[in-house]
Amino acid sequence: MKGLTSIKCQKSAILSFFTIIALCTVAVSSKTDDSSKESSHCGGCSHSRQSTTTENLYENEADDYCLANDPLHTYEHTATNRIGRLKNMVKIKAGTFTIGTNDPVFVADGEGPKQQIYLDSFYIDEMEVSNRDFGRFVHATNHRTEAEKFGDSFVFGGLLEEKIRANITHAVAQAPWWLQVKNANWQNPEGPNSDIKSMFTPFYFSGCLKLETKENRMDHPVVHVSWNDATAYCEWLGKRLPTEAEWEVACRGGLSDKLYPWGNKFTPNGQHRANTWQGDFPNNNTKEDGYESTSPVTEFAPNNYGLRNMIGNVWEWTSDWWTIETKARGGPNNPNGPPHSTDKVKKGGSYLCHKSYCFRYRCAARSQNTPDTTAGNLGFRCALKA
């Protein structure tokens, strides 16, 4: 009887599993029947194409297609599409602002001195670009990131399984916790055994077929993207990367000479406001903020401008070339960095930053990487002239 019960259990579970698949297939097929020959018109660019029957995780395909196939840019500059581009962006009005600090933590980074600048009005993304956002771009343009072209990227060793870590021989000399992982990229942040998409994994438990749902990271910030990848994404949407000055002004949220986007206390009222490292870096992350790696781009309270995750979570690329010389950053009016250098400025720190090692999750803090650098804690957000 026990064997018969087990067989019935398996048959019932298998039947349920394939019922789910069948229902999903019917749903997709129904959608395909309604839209397979639909023609989309987008301000000078029109198309008729067969819709895919595979699961589409990226929305607004028609708009994406038009942006990717509009050489005259007649679609991207229409008033309707500009409104679309401004969705989930925050306008920061022109004015005089204070950036930098007279109390630098890392003097060699050029954090100081404090200075007054003038900026024209601009828009900046409310949140970091997510995997879902970046997936739409790749879906529309077939863009291959530099990590995919190189065939590897840098991953924090603490996120890897021991058997994978044991077979890796290349690490960063000054930071041995950074390991060069084959086939790590934006879709596979920790290498081939990881995936940003949620999926059902069938497995047996006590003789019964179960369905395990893996973590979905579609709304986490895209990582393993170079400065060149980030620029390509922003330009595809008719946007650009923010200048370092714009980014820092946005980070401060209207506050002057404060460490963080909300003030000088990192955990006001005992509440975590950003995703950083707690515990003993790099050996033990106590995850008091709830996260070991990236967190959703919607997580944590916004600053006074309504912007989220301006510090922590992932480093963010800016458009500026790197220099530590204040006078070489473009002057007091709309500074945009030196005309050229070897590295690009990144801001904000990441989930790997800890006060004992990388106290750069401050608005005035800054760091740099070459434009083709990719890593598991490096992302971006876009900006746009108002």
User: For residue 41, is it within any domain?
Assistant: no
User: For residue 64, is it within any domain?
Assistant: no
What pLDDT, on a 0 to 100 scale, did the predictor assign at position 56?
56
- Which residue in 375, 373, 92 sits closest to 251, CA to CA? 92
User: For residue 264, is it within any domain?
Assistant: yes
Give residue 297's domain range: 88-385
What pLDDT, on a 0 to 100 scale, did the predictor assign at position 63?
52
Going from the first residue of the chain to its last (386 residues), give the mean pLDDT of each consecutive group of 10, the final group possibly shorter.
Answer: 42 41 38 35 33 46 49 47 82 97 96 96 98 95 97 96 86 91 96 78 50 73 98 96 98 96 96 97 96 97 98 98 91 95 98 95 98 98 96
User: For residue 3, is it within any domain?
Assistant: no
User: For residue 18, is it within any domain?
Assistant: no
User: For residue 167, is it within any domain?
Assistant: yes
What pLDDT, on a 0 to 100 scale, did the predictor assign at position 55?
44
Terminal-residue alpha carbon distance, the chain: 73
User: For residue 60, is it within any domain?
Assistant: no
Q: Is-contact 51 82, C-beta < 8 A?
A: no
Whole-structure pTM value: 0.79
| Number of neighbouring beta carbons within 10 Å of residue 326 | 14
What pLDDT, on a 0 to 100 scale, did the predictor assign at position 327?
83
User: For residue 66, is it within any domain?
Assistant: no
What pLDDT, on a 0 to 100 scale, did the predictor assign at position 5?
41
CATH label of the domain that carries residue 117: 3.90.1580.10
What pLDDT, on a 0 to 100 scale, did the predictor assign at position 9?
44
Number of domains the chain contains? 1
What pLDDT, on a 0 to 100 scale, did the predictor assign at position 328?
85
- Which residue in 385, 386, 350 sits closest to 128, CA to CA? 350
